[in-house]
Structure formats: C-alpha cells, structure tokens
Amino acid sequence: MLTATQFSTARLEAVRARIAAAAGRAGRDPESVRLVAVSKQQPVEAIAAAAAAGQAEFGENYVQEGVAKIAALRGRPLTWHFIGRLQANKTREIAEHFQWVHTVDRERIASRLDAQRPHFAGPLEVLLQVRLGDEPGKGGAEPEDLPALAEAVVRLPRLRLRGLMCIPPPAADEAGQRVPFRRLRELLEDLNRRGHSLDVLSMGMSDDLEAAVLEGATLVRIGTAVFGPRG
C-alpha cells in the first residue's frame, strides 16, 4: 500500500538549493545536474504536486507500481527512470513504459530490453550499474567487466548507452563519500578513452548528493529529501 505523503514545495526547493550550492563549490553550472525525484511508495497525488512545482523527472524502483503511476499521469510531460533491480521477467514492461533504465549490469538483460523496446518509442536510454563495494546481494557489474559490457550494449539498436550508475556503500563523511563517486567518474572517463561518448553519471542520493556533485554527477536520485519520510 502506498503511503499518504504531503508533498512540500519547500523540500523540493531546498534540494534544488543544495544541488546549486554543490555545483558552485565544484565550479559547475547547476543546470548540468538534473534531479530525479525518487517516487517509489509515494502516491500519485504527491507526484502530481511535484510535477506542478516544476519537477519533470521521476525514478521508480518497482515495475508494477511504476507502470501504474505512468498510466495515471499519462499526458503530462514527465520522464520516467527505472532505478530498481532488473529481473528478466519484468524487462518487457520496463522497455515499453520507461524512458531511462539505470541498472543494466549484464548483457542478457540488455538484450531483452533491446528486443522488447517498441520501435515507435525511440531508443531506451541506458546506464550501466557498477558495483563499487563488497556488498553481497547488491546489483552491478564489476569494474573490470565494464568494457566488454559497454561494447555489447552499444551494438543493440533499440538501446542508447549514456553512462554509468552506482549505489556505493555508506561513508561517514564527505571525503569518504567522494571516493566511490570519483571511481565511477574515472571508469566513465576510461570508457570514453576507449571510443565511447558517455555523458551521464547517475550518483548521489539524499545523504550524499553534495559529494556526488563535487565528483561530476549529472543525475542525482533524491527521494526522502524531496518527498519526506515514507510513512
């Protein structure tokens, strides 16, 4: 059951201010960092209120829930990102309804998304999830497997490889938070040296967005700080 959350424009503006301040510290244009509001377990009314306040990009972790929200808000100029763990039996719904997928970590899943992406929809924007810590059970490709995976994905015509994503282990302070984000940026730079043209780093959440922006994040995925705690 979705929780009843009272959306607050003030929270959204506070997140935007944090992004702008971090971009300023990094000498970056704040417009180079896009906010994906993580709307999992939030009611449609809260998402509609955020959209009315100017938020256009939303991230969902669960396929069935996300597809229902996309249908409920159809007709609005919104962009939907799938940011949850990918399961083979859910790829068709993702390919048919979402514009972005952040969590591709193996060729088999990428091939299914490619085969199931409707031709009228345009290519699916894809990020490769990278596992940067020793956390059993967490998704993500190993860094050493990225070159081969990237080459496999760029050969798929219904997908457009855009960059990398990570969910790093928690760290105690900003300096510690920056370490895995720096590593992800270096991995993207390495792929570009190999001939790719990747331009997206999806990294940073409510507790570490500043560290992510300082290391080059172009998409930050923020849930609690935008919508408040889930009930």
pLDDT tens per residue across span 109-138: 999 999 999 999 999 999 999 999 877 778
What tens digit of pLDDT does each residue of 45-88 get?
999 999 999 999 999 999 999 999 999 999 999 999 999 999 99
> Count of H helices and E strands in the chain?
9, 8
Q: Which of the 8 DSSP states describes residue 141? A: B
In a domain? residue 1: no
Q: What is the tally of structural domains in the chain?
A: 1
pLDDT at 30: 97
- Placement of tokens 């990570």 in the chain: 166
Mean pLDDT estimate for the chain:
95
Residue 4 lies in a domain: no
Q: Considering the domain boundaries, does residue 109 fall inside one?
A: yes
Digit-coded pLDDT (tens) for 163-221: 999 999 999 899 999 999 999 999 999 999 999 999 999 999 999 999 999 999 999 99
What gap in Å lies between CA 158 and CA 149, rounded to an integer? 16
pTM, two decimals, is 0.96
DSSP structure string for 32-92: GSEEEEE-TT--HHHHHHHHHTT--EEEES-HHHHHHHHHHTTTS--EEEE-S---GGGHH
Domain membership of residue 174 as a residue range: 9-226
Nearest residue to 35 (alpha-carbon basis) of 51, 15, 50? 15
Alpha-helical regions (H) of 155-199: 174-193
CATH number where 34 lies: 3.20.20.10
Q: How confident is the model at residue 4, as a pLDDT?
A: 46
